[in-house]
């Protein structure tokens, strides 16, 4: 039953954000809280798992349950929490370096599993916490402290990777359009299955190329086009299109059984609600003697 009395205040801890003034993390933080309040989910039913990056100290600024883990490992921790208690709303909150670099392998295989998680990725094309090195999503030729002659590598395409590996919800948002982002987060959380929401995020301190104005000149909303979110081919075409236009909105959404739906052990009841008094592990222990 949604709690319609909630306000964002209940989702806000007493710590003040320490991000640079103008950082896109503020917009994402506000949109996540708006979405949770809009869906009426009480704080004790929400767990957010944070990786390493500027976004990561967001774990201090929420009043719901949080876990701040190691670099690139938000998804395995989130998956473990979800399997232990699949009645919780579980959100993995990563950066482009954290989620697609260090955590790239986990990203691919969580798409395949279709476990019911929301994966929010703050994509500012940089490792900003360590002061502005190249991340996997940076375009070819990108100049950073670690690529003074320009990046030599083809950028990682998270939307296409998610689609070809079986993600059932794939979307992209923009950190400066909070109302639009709020709606996308609500859709991602409400989706049953693995939901990727890549968020184009402004880093005012180290990324002087992809500024708010730069994004505003290139972004278009998929819902204002003829885009069909159930059409896999169309979604992949949008994801692969590498021109000067950047789509935001839902690229793809379908329903298929989640990982939890298919696990007989937790199908009827979450693991944490099951009785363990009658479980006999003596045979398993024998093997270690
Ligand atoms: Fe935000 Fe960039 Fe400052 Fe980090 S360095 S807090 S990403 S603006």
Gap from CA of 32 to ligand 1 centroid (Å)? 18
Pocket test for ligand 1, best of 50, 128, 132, 137 (most atoms within 8 A of CB): 128
Q: What is the mean pLDDT of residues 250-274?
A: 93
Residue nearest (by alpha carbon) to ligand 1 atom 3: 20
* 20 CA → ligand 1 middle, Å: 5
Residue 215 CA, ligand 1 centroid: distance in Å: 17
Domain residues of the chain, as ranges?
A: 8-264
Q: Please answer whether residues 13 and 61 qualify as being in contact, where contact means their C-beta atoms are separated by less than 8 angstroms.
A: yes
Mean of all residue pLDDT scores within the chain:
96
CA–centroid distance, 254 to ligand 1, in Å, is 34
The confidence score (pLDDT) of residue 231 equals: 98
Mutation pick for ligand 1 pocket among 204, 208, 210, 212 (CB with most ligand atoms within 8 Å) = 204
Give the Å distance between the CA of 25 and the centre of ligand 1.
8
Give the model's confidence band at 1: pLDDT under 50 very low, under 70 low, under 90 confident, else very high. confident
Please give the number of the atom of ligand 1 that sits closest to the Cα of 25: 1
Residues with CB under 6 A from ligand 1: 19-20, 23, 25, 54, 124, 128, 203-206
What are 119's strand-pairing partners? Answer: 92, 196
Cα 274 versus chain centre, distance: 30
CA distance 173 to 46: 21
Question: Whole-angstrom Cα distance, residue 165 to residue 168?
Answer: 9
> What is the rounded distance in angstroms from the CA atom of residue 275 to the CA atom of residue 36?
31
Determine whether 288 is exposed, middle or buried from the number of CB atoms within 10 Å of its CB (0-12, 13-18, 19+): exposed
CA 125 to centroid of chain Cα atoms:
15
Which ligand 1 atom lies nearest to the CA of residue 129? 4
| pLDDT, tens digit (0-9, with 9 covering 90-100), for 36-64 | 999 999 999 999 999 999 999 999 999 99
Distances from the Cα of 53 to the Cα of 23, 66, 125, 199, 241, angstroms: 13, 15, 12, 15, 28
Q: Answer whether residue 148 shows pLDDT above 90.
A: yes
pLDDT confidence of residue 242? 79
Average pLDDT over residues 224-234: 98
Which superfamily does 8-264 belong to?
A: Thiamin diphosphate (ThDP)-binding fold, Pyr/PP domains (3.40.50.970)
Q: What is the pLDDT of residue 267?
A: 83
User: Cα Rg for the chain, rounded, in angstroms?
Assistant: 19
Residue ID of nearest Cα to ligand 1 atom 6: 19
For residue 18, which atom of ligand 1 is closest to its CA? 6
Residue 281 clears pLDDT 90, i.e. is over it: no
Ligand 1 atom 1: residue of nearest CA = 23
Q: Give the CA-trace dihedral at 207, 104, 271, 289, to 10 degrees.
A: -130
Which residue is closest in CA terms to ligand 1's atom 7? 203
The per-residue pLDDT for 279 is 81
Q: Whose CA is nearest to atom 2 of ligand 1?
A: 203
pLDDT tens sequence across 76-123: 999 999 999 999 999 999 999 999 999 999 999 999 999 999 999 999
- Give the residue-averaged pLDDT of 219-242: 97
Whether residue 289 is predicted with pLDDT greater than 90 in this model: the reply is no
């Amino acid at each position: 039953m949604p709690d319609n009395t909630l306000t964002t205040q209940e989702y806000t801890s007493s710590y003040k954000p320490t991000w640079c003034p103008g950082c896109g993390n503020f917009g994402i933080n506000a949109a996540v809280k708006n979405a949770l309040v809009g869906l009426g989910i009480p704080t004790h039913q929400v767990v957010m798992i944070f990786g390493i990056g500027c976004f990561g100290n967001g774990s201090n600024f929420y009043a719901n349950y949080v876990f701040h883990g190691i670099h690139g490992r938000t998804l395995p921790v989130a998956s473990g929490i979800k399997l232990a208690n699949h009645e919780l709303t579980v959100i993995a909150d990563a950066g482009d370096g954290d989620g697609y670099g260090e955590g790239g392998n986990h990203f691919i295989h969580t798409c395949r599993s279709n476990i019911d998680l929301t994966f929010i990725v703050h994509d500012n094309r940089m490792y900003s916490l360590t002061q502005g090195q190249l991340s996997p999503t940076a375009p070819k030729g990108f100049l950073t402290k670690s690529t003074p002659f320009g990046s030599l590598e083809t950028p990682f395409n998270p939307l296409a990777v998610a689609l070809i590996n079986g993600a059932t919800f794939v979307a992209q948002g923009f950190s400066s359009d909070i109302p639009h982002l709020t709606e996308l987060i609500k859709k991602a959380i409400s989706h049953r299955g693995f939901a990727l929401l890549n968020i184009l995020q402004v880093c005012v301190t180290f990324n002087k190329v992809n500024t708010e104005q730069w994004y505003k000149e290139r972004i278009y909303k998929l819902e204002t086009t003829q885009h069909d979110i159930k059409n896999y081919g169309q979604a992949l075409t949008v994801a692969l299109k590498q021109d000067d236009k950047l789509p935001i909105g839902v690229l793809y959404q379908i329903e298929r059984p989640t990982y939890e739906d298919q696990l007989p052990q937790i199908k009827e009841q979450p693991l944490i609600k099951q009785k363990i008094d009658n479980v006999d592990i003596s045979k398993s222990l024998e093997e270690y003697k």
